[in-house]
Amino acid sequence: MRQNLKKQDSLELQMLKSNPGLMPILRDGELISVTLIEKGRRAVYFNVPKVGTGVIYGIELINAKDILKKLEIGDVVTAKVVSPENEDGLIELSLIEAGKQKAWEELKEFRENGEPFPAKVTGSNSGGLLLDAKGVQGFLPASQLSNEHYPQSDSGDRSKVAEELKEFIGQSLDVKIININPRTNKLILSEREVETENVKDLLKEYNVGDEVSCIVSGVADFGAFVKFADQPEVEGLIHISELSHNMLDNPKEVVAVGDMVKAKIAEIKEGRVSLSLKALQSDPWNKVSESFKEGEKIKGEVYKLNPFGALVKIGHDLMGLIHVSEFGSVEELKQNLEAGKNYDFVIASIKPDEKRIVLKMAGGAPASTPTPPQVDIDAGNAQEEIKIDGEESV
């Protein structure tokens, strides 16, 4: 059969050479349509229109065995040109490489047109998901998941995030391509981009400053996700600093999943919306002079111990600060005050503009100490964890 094919090729080539305009020029890596004409154990032959006969053999034949099982004589498939002409005058082809190249070309079109398409999750790690995109492996970073699917582990523990992401294996997600490079086999996908495009149109109905009713859909250590009650497809974020005028360690101190809240739209940008709860709450610092007086003796609950002192809940949604210098050292501070317990304090000073109330121990400090230095700390708005002697504050 092979000799007959070569004779047939010679006749075709003579005819084409006599009329060069009829003979197309094949190039390495080019994708062409070919017709299956013979299956053999060591080689499979295809008709390449206007050129001659193509062949698949060796490692290419082994790699393409699953594809070839499904093909019948006369079937037309896409093949990649490995060599326009080998030593036998045949065109060496690859079906596997053709499939990959065709997939990359299809993916490039999706990227250029900005079209979403479904991709199946095949694996995960703490950084994101692995997906099968048209036969090409792509990566979807966790940060590019939709709000609905974003990991909401309160602790931020990478192992817990990885466990949450494992639940997506086997599912199909609608994604968009945000970065593609076939040469390096790089394919970065995003689910958030699909969500963003849909939400952008819906957000045209809203403006910064609007008050909206929302349902808390998720709580993370950095804030709360909320869905608009009148438009559940729109999901926004209330950062922990916008949940309350008071300092919070965890958003769960204020909200829980399923809560109905009213919030104010703080920002709309690139299809994302940020909201604020505290913008609709009265600021306790506006009336601090009505609630407390300098020199007043009060009871307060120690909220947190820090290297610079202790934050104390004194009522009316306000906190005061007693400086570490009142005790002489962090060790003595920890010996005399304990988080969660109540003590007697005296208000040393009130500075509403700086949102600062400075406290002293009632009856004097437990040890003779110098005057506390000025500390640049906003006792009403501090939101970050601070450590003492390498350990988390208690």
Contact (CB, 8 A) for 132 and 107: no
Q: How many CB atoms lie within 10 A of CB 297?
A: 10
With cut-offs at 50, 70 and 90, classify the pLDDT of residue 14. Answer: low
Mean pLDDT along residues 134-150: 86
User: Which of the residue ranges 34-48, 49-63, 78-92, 379-393 would you say has the lowest mean pLDDT?
Assistant: 379-393
pLDDT in tens, 335-378: 999 989 999 999 999 988 888 899 999 876 554 444 444 444 44
For residue 388, pLDDT over 50 is answered with no
Task: Tell me the two tokens of residue 332.
Answer: 């003595």
| pLDDT for position 226 | 93
Mean pLDDT along residues 184-206: 86
With cut-offs at 50, 70 and 90, classify the pLDDT of residue 15. Answer: low
Mean pLDDT of the chain: 82
Give the closest residue to 381 by CA, choosing from 245, 238, 221. Answer: 245
Give the whole-angstrom CA distance, residue 314 versus residue 339.
13
User: Which of the residue ranges 13-17, 43-47, 194-198 would you say has the lowest mean pLDDT?
Assistant: 13-17
Q: Which residues pair with 227 in a beta bridge?
A: 215, 235
CATH placement of domain 291-392: 2.40.50.140
Give the whole-angstrom CA distance, residue 232 versus residue 199.
10
pLDDT in tens, 250-284: 898 889 999 999 999 999 987 789 999 999 988 88
For residue 176, pLDDT over 50 is answered with yes
| pLDDT for position 64 | 86
For residue 57, pLDDT over 60 is answered with yes
Write out the CATH class of domain 115-192.
mainly beta
With cut-offs at 50, 70 and 90, classify the pLDDT of residue 22. Answer: low
Mean pLDDT along residues 119-123: 93
pLDDT in tens, 374-387: 444 444 444 443 33
Give the whole-angstrom CA distance, residue 170 versus residue 300.
53
For residue 101, pLDDT over 90 is answered with no
Q: Do the bridges between strand 231-239 and strand 272-276 make them parallel or antiparallel, or are there none, so unpaired?
A: parallel
Write out the CATH class of domain 205-280.
mainly beta
Contact (CB, 8 A) for 23 and 50: yes
Q: How many CB atoms lie within 10 A of CB 127?
A: 14
Give the whole-angstrom CA distance, residue 312 versus residue 296.
15
For residue 5, pLDDT over 70 is answered with no
% of the chain at pLDDT higher than 90: 36
Give the whole-angstrom CA distance, residue 375 versus residue 382.
13
The three state secondary structure string of 203-232 is HCCCCCCCEEEEEEEEEECCEEEEEECCEE
| pLDDT for position 43 | 92
For residue 157, pLDDT over 90 is answered with no
User: Which of the residue ranges 139-153, 171-185, 201-215 would you say has the lowest mean pLDDT?
Assistant: 139-153
Mean pLDDT along residues 185-196: 87
> Which segments of the chain belong to CATH 2.40.50.140?
2-99, 115-192, 205-280, 291-392
With cut-offs at 50, 70 and 90, classify the pLDDT of residue 73. Answer: very high
The three state secondary structure string of the chain is CHHHHHHHHHHHHHHHHHCHHHCCCCCCCCEEEEEEEEECCCEEEEEECCCEEEEEECHHHHHCHHHHHCCCCCCEEEEEEEECCCCCCCEEEEHHHHHHHHHHHHHHHHHHHCCCEEEEEEEEECCEEEEEECCEEEEEEHHHCCCCCCCCCCCCCHHHHHHHHHCCCCCEEEEEEEEEEHHHCEEEEECHHHHHHHHHHHHCCCCCCCEEEEEEEEEECCEEEEEECCEEEEEEEEEHHHCCCCCCCCHHHCCCCCCEEEEEEEEEECCEEEEECHHHCCCHHHHHHHHCCCCCEEEEEEEEEECCEEEEEEECCEEEEEEHHHCCCHHHHHHHCCCCCEEEEEEEEEEHHHCEEEEEECCCCCCCCCCCCCCCCCCCCCCCCCEECCEECC
With cut-offs at 50, 70 and 90, classify the pLDDT of residue 153. Answer: low
User: Which of the residue ranges 9-18, 63-72, 205-214 would you say has the lowest mean pLDDT?
Assistant: 9-18
For residue 137, pLDDT over 70 is answered with yes
Which superfamily does CATH assign the domain made up of 2-99 to?
Nucleic acid-binding proteins (2.40.50.140)
